Copies of this chain bind each other. A is one copy, B any other.
């Protein structure tokens, strides 16, 4: 049987999702816990890699099992054994051709910025503390050229270059609620560090280091060096994972 598991995790204490040998990835914890519940050595497939410190409000993984355990018992059993910073939101039995990564048709990420000079205990490790006042309307304008299908090679971290760096961004929305600025990006898929480099570039525009109109030129350059810095992991959340 193929199972689809939807989890959430606080990334602060993990070296990303993927199983690690000399550090703890979320996958290590999930597979150890599945072993406790199912009595089987399980290997899960995650919907994406995530970096150290990146959070997930929704993260999907799939696995095969011979165990006929009820899906609700997987949820309650895992939530009993998992540490407080990881939880299971849903478990369901899916068609055998389902794969958390290959079946995925889109994702939504959010980057949270606590826009203040003073830190806030409620956003510690949960948002980027950033003191330069952000004008969210100007950044919304700056980001518009990125929407649509483009070769995003300039926004791809050095270790993540693949043959095909063309992706489609469906929407980018930048909103403010008091001191909290949220950048929500949805698309069919994302390159390594793509959101963090987009955000880092926006911050450089905000600091007057780049022109408001720079994004089209950066896209055209096909060169990581043309874009801005990589914003820290702590502000990044995987919000939603889409399947047909």
Contacts and interface: CB of A to CB of B under 8 A. Distances in A.
Nearest to A119: B87
Interface residues of A, number: 21
A8 interface: yes
A9 B85 CA distance: 20
A122 B89 contact: no
A85 B124 contact: yes
Interface string A186-198: 0000000000000
A118 to B, nearest CB: 6
Given A10-B122, A79-B118, 11 more contacts: A8-B120, A75-B118, A76-B118, A79-B119, A84-B121, A84-B124, A85-B124, A86-B121, A87-B119, A87-B120, A122-B126
A72 to B, nearest CB: 9
A212 B10 CA distance: 38
B122 A8 contact: yes
Interface in A65-97: 75-76, 79, 84-89
Interface of A: 8-10, 55, 57, 75-76, 79, 84-89, 118-122, 124, 126
B121 A9 contact: yes
Contacts of A88: 118
25 contacts: A8-B120, A8-B121, A8-B122, A9-B121, A10-B121, A10-B122, A55-B122, A57-B122, A75-B118, A76-B118, A79-B118, A79-B119, A84-B119, A84-B121, A84-B124, A85-B121, A85-B124, A86-B121, A87-B118, A87-B119, A87-B120, A87-B121, A89-B118, A89-B120, A122-B126
A89 to B, nearest CB: 6
A122 B87 CA distance: 10
A49 to B, nearest CB: 19
